[in-house]
Structure 1
Amino acid sequence: MRLSADPRHAAPHAAPHAATAVRGRGDRRPAAPPRKRRARLALAALLPLLALAMALPPTAGMAQQREADMVLRIAAVVNDDIISVYDVEARTDLLVASSGMPDTADMRGRIRDQVLRALIDETLKLQEAERLGQSVSDENMAEAIRQVEQQNGIPPGGFEAFIETSGVDRGTAMRQIRAEVAWVKAVQALFRERITISDEQVDIVMDRLKAAQGKPEHLVREIYLPVDNPADEARVRENAARLVSQIRDGAGFAPLARQFSQSPSAANGGSLGWVRQGELDTTLEQALLDMRPGTVSDPIRTVGGFHILALADRRRTAVPDPDNARLTLSQLAMPARGPNALSAGTREEIKTVVRETVETCDDLNALAEEMEVPNSGPVGTVPVARLDGPMRDILTGLGENEASDPIRTPGGELIVMVCSREVPGGMPTAEAVRQRLFEERLDTLANRHLRTLRQQALIDVRI
């Protein structure tokens, strides 16, 4: 971010409190403005604050002068962007307010390195998003704030009130949210089209999940701290141990995950939801089996780094119960009587079209719309328990996106298709498994890219 005054005192023309893409070692980014010119811009942004501090009476100006001093002191330089001591203190205020950690000098000293590391990564993410032309819209921010409210137990629309009552700097809270959104968009732009999940990969996971039915599943949150360089091993382990200590002393897991975790689950406060056996690294699965609900693990070393797990609950994966399944259906009616009656020849033509061209419910719905026949198209979701007779047997025997043979009805004929099937206690769909594998692959590429950005960047830590 550019060096800027506290947003509560900055002049209207001061530089925005946001990171700007610059050129680092080995990068092909557009060249940054000359350093002398940037220094003049940064000094210009500080002049209103200095003038204000000089104009205030000694007592009234003491707090403002302390803030000015913190803004002037540089905590780190990331490429050509500056992180001030004020930025570090403001982010620490936010973390303390949201996590429930004690606001003591000792606690602040213990988490300062973690906060600064998070700010450095955040700056790199903002720089990369700007380099790729990924802007964050007001709608993006509004949706992200709604998620923050849900994850932190803040009433809907209560984010601004939380900021005001907690006394934290609004700018630092908004910057963190903006960086998360910008990074997601940057990673999607870079890697989405490069990831392909094969049917074979999906089948392997599905087979593993089938083998785990009836075994324990866990309600889990995680914090993931990568080890990018073997030389960082001890430092990352120490940071992980410090986080575990803070959580066991009463700090909130979700705010710490959102602040420090390098996993996609960080945006959801570290929540992984219910995890079945076979979905996690075997080292993590064994750790979960050894834990009691309501406890937090010690740091767990895996190939990529250290994990901290919080086990909220445990249950047995239920055996699928097809009788209580819910089916999402579409249908195509072919009336033989009434004002919309179709001739026998037309009905046969439609059956041929369905057999030869209809592969999904979308195809069937499009054909129904084209025919403009009443009672055709999406039906909605129907519990199997409410079906009886031949229709129940037909629908329970169909696979997803499989059309039935024509069914005779009092008014003509009917073709039905099962669009999706939700079976309590059952397996996730192949599409859900494919999406999870995609997200895991995207996560791996994102962490690798952030590591590359760190290696190429010019980072000068001064505190």
Structure 2
Amino acid sequence: MNKFKTLALVLATLGAAAAQAASVMDQPPAGGVEPAAAAPLQADLDRIVAVVNNEVITETELQQRVHTVAINLRRAQIELPPMEQLRQQVLERLITERAIMQHARQTGIRIDDQMVNASIEQIARQNNLTVEELRSRLAADGVAFNSFREEIRDEITTQRLREREVDEKIVVLDSEIDAYLAEQAGFTGDETTEYHVAHILLPINTPDEDDAVRKTAEDIAQRARNGEEFSSLVAAFSRADDALSGGDLGWRTKLDMPEVFWKAMENDLKAGNVYVTRSQRAWHVVKLEGERNGATAKLAGGPVEQTHARHILMFVSDITPEADVLRRLSEIKARIEAGEADFATMARLNSVDATATRGGDLGWLQDGDTVPEFEAAMKKLKKGEVSEPIKTNYGYHLIQVVDRRTDTEGNPQRMRIAARQALRQKKLAEATATWQRELRDEAYVDVRLNDAE
């Protein structure tokens, strides 16, 4: 099942994971500098540090975000960059976020309090906390709960806007899947090799900047080769969306990483190597962290029973207690069964899951694709039938079975699904970065950071 990306926001304050946070909670950051001390509050916190179109970013906002980012870097055991560089990096992120929010308002996207409350409830539950415990943890980290709520609202807004303007435009052609699988089939011993890659993105805003940006990239690369922590350099210099989480692209095959990265790496594949390469609109510093055999067990052969299903997900929260959730879902079920509404429309209007924009469509599922409670209820339904409200650790669901089939192709079909997902994720990452950069470039921006210091 899909999880809200808003989880990333709470991880920025609670740590990358509960276990990791517990192990590093009381440890001092690298260099022995406490985040709170790294950005001392000043008397003129309402000074304007940037103007984005008709809105301002104040010193208060900047310092609050720097504080949160410092906590996140500390718990990820990433050495803090110099405070001036960190402030500039965080301000650039705030500018981009403000441009996105302004565009969202212009296009009519609104996220109501119920959606925000439900998302916070899910975040708390996924971290084994109550909402009050989450509130206390945030307060202990110096993060105001109201500010956290607005960050959640902005994250959901960004997700909805991106789904409309980016996700829905991503198309993976059957010919692309055929080419992808044919290239994989042509591999020999290296066909399952995966590479752990991290990167720094340095955009080129005008052609005149090309040489200067290239020199900056080469200087950063040399610093990394001389032993400086790469994740700290990422936090200081990268303009990518993952800059404040270490620039980690994870484990990828050569087909899953940007082509310019692979061309820079392929003739000298050695863990620890740092490369400089250029794409159409940016210079990149890329580090090869490691290499491994990424082969996984293939799916068992033979026929596979699959179910095409939709669902509507609702959360229990302070605003919508369990009784209200059950009542609303029962009313929706009654309307669908009476022919007063169709399931897809009700999902778009009521579901808090990311599939809501697709009418709750989960696609073709087979054993193991969903949690046990969901799977057990789904298997009992006839084609077109709607379930009673089903409780899982994600919340309460209404499930509708759209169709059933026996997949006699087995592994090849699943391989095509996996190939489509890999190609889509690759295109989506590139399209999202371009979309964010274009929104930022289209905005009027006046940075006054130096005036504020």
The TM-score, its normalising length taken from structure 1, stands at 0.53
Task: Give CA-to-partner distance per residue, 1:5-30, whole Å, 9 cap, x none.
Answer: xxxxxxxxxxxxxxxxxxxxxxxxxx
Aligned twin of 1:78: 52
Task: Give CA-to-partner distance per residue, 1:289-328, whole Å, 9 cap, x none.
Answer: 54554x4735543333244545454223549757x55964
CA contact 2:231–2:246 (8 Å) conserved in 1: no
Of 231, 240, 253, the residue aligned with 1:262 is: 240
Report how far residue 329 of structure 1 moved: 2.4
Task: Give CA-to-partner distance per residue, 1:74-101, whole Å, 9 cap, x none.
Answer: 1111011101122222222222221126
Instruction: Tell me how far apart the structure 2 counterparts of residues 147 and 253 of structure 1 sit (CA, whole Å).
Output: 28
CA contact 1:220–1:271 (8 Å) conserved in 2: yes
Instruction: Tell me how far apart the structure 2 counterparts of residues 102 and 455 of structure 1 sit (CA, whole Å).
Output: 30
Figure out how many residues of one structure are paired with residues of the other and give that number.
314
CA contact 1:237–1:306 (8 Å) conserved in 2: no
Of 90, 95, 107, the residue aligned with 2:69 is: 95
Instruction: Tell me how far apart the structure 2 counterparts of residues 173 and 261 of structure 1 sit (CA, whole Å).
Output: 23
The TM-score, its normalising length taken from structure 2, stands at 0.53
Matching of residues 277-356 of structure 1 within 5 Å: 277-288=254-265, 290=268, 292-293=270-271, 295=272, 297=274, 300-309=277-286, 311-318=288-295, 328-329=304-305
AA at the equivalent of 1:70: L
Instruction: Tell me how far apart the structure 2 counterparts of residues 141 and 240 of structure 1 sit (CA, whole Å).
Output: 46
Does residue 184 of structure 1 match 2:173?
no
* SS of corresponding position for 2:280: coil
Larger Rg: 1
Of 375, 389, 407, the residue aligned with 1:418 is: 407
Of 69, 73, 87, the residue aligned with 1:112 is: 87
* SS of corresponding position for 2:44: helix
Aligned twin of 2:140: 165
Residues 108 and 458 of structure 1: CA distance in aligned 2, closer, same or farther (over 3 Å): same
Does residue 462 of structure 1 match 2:448?
yes
Instruction: Tell me how far apart the structure 1 counterparts of residues 96 and 430 of structure 2 sit (CA, whole Å).
Output: 16
AA at the equivalent of 1:417: T
Please, which runs of 5 or more residues in structure 2 have no aligned partner? Answer: 1-39, 308-362, 366-377, 386-403
CA contact 2:50–2:448 (8 Å) conserved in 1: yes
Aligned twin of 2:101: 126
Task: Give CA-to-partner distance per residue, 1:227-272, whole Å, 9 cap, x none.
Answer: 3433454359748966996996558679949x96535x67987554
Aligned twin of 1:229: 206
Of 399, 418, 423, the residue aligned with 1:437 is: 423
Instruction: Tell me how far apart the structure 2 counterparts of residues 165 and 241 of structure 1 sit (CA, whole Å).
Output: 39
* SS of corresponding position for 1:212: coil
Task: Give CA-to-partner distance per residue, 1:139-166, whole Å, 9 cap, x none.
Answer: 467658978999xxx7766754553333
Instruction: Tell me how far apart the structure 1 counterparts of residues 383 and 186 of structure 2 sit (CA, whole Å).
Output: 45
Task: Give CA-to-partner distance per residue, 1:24-64, whole Å, 9 cap, x none.
Answer: xxxxxxxxxxxxxxxxxxxxxxxxxxxxxxxxxxxxxxxxx
Does residue 453 of structure 1 match 2:421?
no
CA contact 1:146–1:156 (8 Å) conserved in 2: no
Task: Give CA-to-partner distance per residue, 1:92-138, whole Å, 9 cap, x none.
Answer: 222222112666xx811122222221111111011112222223455
* SS of corresponding position for 1:70: coil
Of 276, 287, 299, the residue aligned with 2:253 is: 276
Percent identity between matched residues is 21
* Alignment RMSD (CA, Å): 4.9
Residues 418 and 160 of structure 1: CA distance in aligned 2, closer, same or farther (over 3 Å): same
Instruction: Tell me how far apart the structure 2 counterparts of residues 440 and 326 of structure 1 sit (CA, whole Å).
Output: 30
AA at the equivalent of 1:98: N
* SS of corresponding position for 1:86: helix
CA contact 1:220–1:273 (8 Å) conserved in 2: yes
Residues 113 and 66 of structure 1: CA distance in aligned 2, closer, same or farther (over 3 Å): closer
Please, which runs of 5 or more residues in structure 1 have no aligned partner? Answer: 1-64, 332-359, 373-402, 404-415
Question: Which region of structure 1 is more displaced relative to structure 2, 210-219 or 168-177?
Answer: 168-177
Residues 451 and 261 of structure 1: CA distance in aligned 2, closer, same or farther (over 3 Å): closer
Residues 148 and 121 of structure 1: CA distance in aligned 2, closer, same or farther (over 3 Å): farther
CA contact 1:99–1:255 (8 Å) conserved in 2: no
Q: Which has the higher contact order (CA 8 A, sep 6+)?
A: 2
CA contact 2:301–2:410 (8 Å) conserved in 1: yes
Task: Give CA-to-partner distance per residue, 1:261-291, whole Å, 9 cap, x none.
Answer: 535x679875544312222234312555545
